[in-house]
Amino acid sequence: MLESYVKKILASQVYDLAEETPLTLAPALSKRLGAEVMLKREDLQPVFSFKLRGSYNKMAQMSVEEQARGVIAASAGNHAQGVAMAAASLGIKATIVMGRNTPSIKVNAVRARGARVVLHGDGFDEAKAHADLLQKEQGLVFVHPYDDVDVIAGQGTVGMEIVNQHHGEPDAIFVPVGGGGLIAGIAAYVKYLYPKTRVIGVEAQGSACLHAAMQAGRRVKLPAETLDLFADGVSVAQVGKETFKIARRYVDDVVVVNIDEICGAIKDVFEETRVIAEPAGALAVAGMKRYLAEHNLESVVAVISGANVNFDRLRHISERAEIGEQREAILAVTIDETEGSFLKFCRALGKRSITEFNYRWSASSEAHIYVGMQVTAPEDKAAVVDDLGERGYAVVDMTDNEAAKLHVRHMVGGRSPGASDELLFRFEFPERPGALLKFLSGVGAKWNITLFHYRNHGAAYGRVLVGFAAARGERAELVRYLKRIGYRFFEENDNPAYQLFLK
């Protein structure tokens, strides 16, 4: 298998359009992690991601008759731009089906490269189904984003360049994983020449389809309602069939990271390169950091796979980066609502740098403070919590509490004594013009809304925290109603952030 793929990689035609990207030293990361860290800069491609390689190689291998028919693809991101640019270069007509919630910056980028854009559905699955229909109706050639031999070979040229550019045999290469095209191509080439080099996949928590497949020994399809939406470039429910054939034999390990770790990695990439990687683009760095915390390696490579990030997302990313770097802790602390207690608590924190401090006077005997503070390591955070506990404070660690970080931090003090019967849910819905009105029209039809917090993060999906005037006895009926509406939701009634700051 490897020899066949190596021949295809060496014969691929990607350099008619794609560029050989540099492999650069990351001195700050190297010093901090105790290993030589090299970054493979696929963000420097003409479409700012590696996807151009596979798309172009696939189309360049097509027959004259196939090229004349035209191509079609379903994508909301980097694959769409890669197909559009490759098709324009080869003089092939291209149609790209994208979800209606695709950010305008991506739609405009694809159109600017000459492709016809069809907006359909609210996500990839609906866009893909419509693309399949158009492909059959119009006789177009489908360009798969990852599960295609020629696409895999095109992506494999990344591995060929790493081998040619590295000064020796690296101990490990960290690769972001969505459907598996990039890691399959890299593993095929690298393992043929350097069988001792570890090829390690990195996946986002919630979209770890390769990790699940490796554990099960077969391809596993993740439930759509649990898919991670933050690192949308790798939000794939099932690893490809052809890509898994390679990965199950030649990928050594898979690391799974969370949103905060990804945001911390985006900051690391920026500090090293002054480039802002997209969440999927920084995934390999996040996994590399976690892996090196437990393994001693001398020389590693991380693939920066793309830099197509919406500017509006940077606010949210910067808020989460310090937590991802384990340099910030988010705590809920209960203090006495008596004269001097506020000052006493501030003195208990000492000279520690405070990143966030939210407090509102309460008529009860207790007050709750939402506080963020800089820490040097997880052990430092634990020491702060222990110290506050010894001083008599009740402390809840909310560093990993999604509802607290997405919503509650902006709502501290928003209590409503009249909302005695209230059920709280966190929603995610496709973000597009009119989407918020549609969401409200759906959820507000039967139960009164007692709480509502929405904040645009510049992503393809909006995130909303909603309270309903409903008693616990109505929960089952409400949940059935919400399921019929069709938006993904999470119940937050017992979330300590809600209990302490909003109820």
Give buried/exposed letters for 350-379 (b at 16+ CB in 10 A, else e). eeeeebeebbeeeeeeebbbbbbbebeeee
Write out the two tokens for 459: 């992503």
CB burial string 162-185: b at 16+ within 10 A, e below? bbeebeeebbbbbbbbbbbbbbbb
Distance CA 451, CA 410 (A): 13
Structure tokens belonging to residue 436 = 């918020």
**51 catalytic, yes or no?**
yes
Q: Around Cβ 239, how many Cβ atoms within 10 Å?
A: 32
CB-based contact 333:369 (threshold 8 Å): yes
Integer Cα distance of 257 and 419 in angstroms:
37
| Cα(17)–Cα(46) distance, integer angstroms | 9
Q: Residue 433: CB partners within 8 Å, gap ≥ 6?
A: none
Given 58, 106, 305, 381, the catalytic residue: 305
Continuous H helices in 12-112: 27-33, 51-60, 64-69, 78-90, 104-112
Q: Pick the catalytic residue: 51, 58, 128, 289?
A: 51
- Token duo for residue 259: 């949103």
Radius of gyration of the chain (CA): 25
Query: Could you give the angle at which helices 181-193 and 2-11 cross, rounded to 10 degrees?
Result: 110
Q: Which two tokens stand for residue 239?
A: 């690893």
Between helix 241-250 and helix 209-216 the angle, nearest 10°, is: 60
488 closest CA partner among 459, 464, 468, 467? 464
Rounded CA separation 117/226 (Å):
28
The candidate with the shortest Cα–Cα distance to 76, out of 120, 111, 124, is 124
| Whether 381 contacts 375, CB under 8 Å | yes
Maximum distance among all Cα pairs of the chain, rounded to whole angstroms:
83
Q: Contacts by 481-486 with C-beta closer than 8 Å and gap 24+?
A: 481/446, 481/447, 482/425, 482/443, 485/442, 485/443
The reply to whether 196 belongs to the active site is: no
Residue 53 is encoded by which pair of tokens?
């390689």
**Which positions are annotated as active-site residues?**
51, 305
